Amino acid sequence: MQALSENTIKNQVYRSIFTDIINNQFHFDQYLTERELMEKYHVSRAPVREALMQLRSDKFIISVPRHGYRIRRPNHKELMEIAAFRSCLECKFLEEYHGRLTNENIEELRKLCESYDNVSLESDFLRSWSLNREFHLKLFSYYGNTYCLNALADAIDQQVVFYVQIMQKQILSADFHFAMLDYIEKGNIHTASTLLRADIEKIPAVDDSFFDKKKEKAFENAWYSLC
């Protein structure tokens, strides 16, 4: 029971840090230390350390020896490269292995899409992103290639640190997903693949100066919090 309790606290700390990252409560050059986070969230060292290790594993933060942790600074070029990788991988597999999709698979994906209606991005970005992630991974899992599935999961997880900065005020709609499933059922795989590519590559046209402005804003917010 104690282990379960600690794990629950760890998850709560993880979510609290993640939420604060989204809300610009930490700036990119700020070091996150175990002691400061213990005081901020009023918890013991163990769940804070576990939460930080998980955040590092999920590529939200990086470890800086003898200093603590820092938020991974988004890089638009890297984001575009990940999107290009995903687009090539997911669309190619859909075109080659769509025949492995069953009616039951399509129905499962539709039910997942319906879950979007119960989520507001402004109130719960993590839930919204998780549903989007689950849809793409579930679709890909039906192709039966575990190695590529793991590579896709890693790519999607690397994207979230960027999306919390540039898309946190945009609703992650399931419209592309619903339409894509319709065309798969009709046997129009070309159009389904086109919709899938559009869904993966729908990234706002921003450059790295955007992230510099986010950094300046975070410093400003940190300064006002001291006044």
Give the span between the Cα atoms of 3 and 5, in whole angstroms.
5
Q: How confident is the model at residue 24 (pLDDT cuts 50, 70, 90)?
A: confident
Parallel, antiparallel or unpaired: strands 68-71 and 61-64 = antiparallel
- 46 token code pair: 């163990």
pLDDT value at position 77?
Answer: 85
pLDDT value at position 58?
Answer: 80
Give the span between the Cα atoms of 192 and 49, in whole angstroms.
44
Average pLDDT, the chain: 82
Give the span between the Cα atoms of 214 and 166, in whole angstroms.
9
pLDDT value at position 164?
Answer: 64
Give the span between the Cα atoms of 51 and 46, in whole angstroms.
9
Q: How confident is the model at residue 109 (pLDDT cuts 50, 70, 90)?
A: very high
Give the list of residues 6+ apart from residue 6 with CB closer than 8 angstroms, or none.
46, 47, 50
Q: How confident is the model at residue 115 (pLDDT cuts 50, 70, 90)?
A: confident
CA 168 to chain centre: 11
More confident residue, 165 or 17: 17
Query: Is the Cβ–Cβ distance between 109 and 181 less than 8 Å?
Result: yes
Cα 107–108–111 angle (5° rounding)? 85
Per residue in 2-19, pLDDT (tens digit) is 343 456 889 999 989 988
Q: How confident is the model at residue 178 (pLDDT cuts 50, 70, 90)?
A: very high
Q: How confident is the model at residue 123 (pLDDT cuts 50, 70, 90)?
A: low
pLDDT value at position 18?
Answer: 83
Helices (H), 23-145: 34-41, 45-57, 76-97, 103-114, 125-141
Q: Provide the whole-model pTM.
A: 0.70
Tell me the average pLDDT across 62-71. Answer: 91
Query: Is the Cβ–Cβ distance between 161 and 69 less than 8 Å?
Result: no
pLDDT value at position 104?
Answer: 97
Examine the pLDDT at 130 and tell me if it is beyond 60.
yes
Q: What single DSSP character describes residue 148?
A: H
Examine the pLDDT at 225 and tell me if it is beyond 70.
no
Give the list of residues 6+ apart from residue 74 with CB closer than 8 angstroms, or none.
161, 162, 165, 166, 211, 214
Tell me the average pLDDT across 112-130. Answer: 71
Query: Is the Cβ–Cβ distance between 143 and 100 less than 8 Å?
Result: yes
Give the span between the Cα atoms of 99 and 31, in whole angstroms.
50
In this structure, what are the phi and psi dihedrals at residue 26, rounded to the nearest 5 degrees? -120, 140
Q: How confident is the model at residue 72 (pLDDT cuts 50, 70, 90)?
A: confident
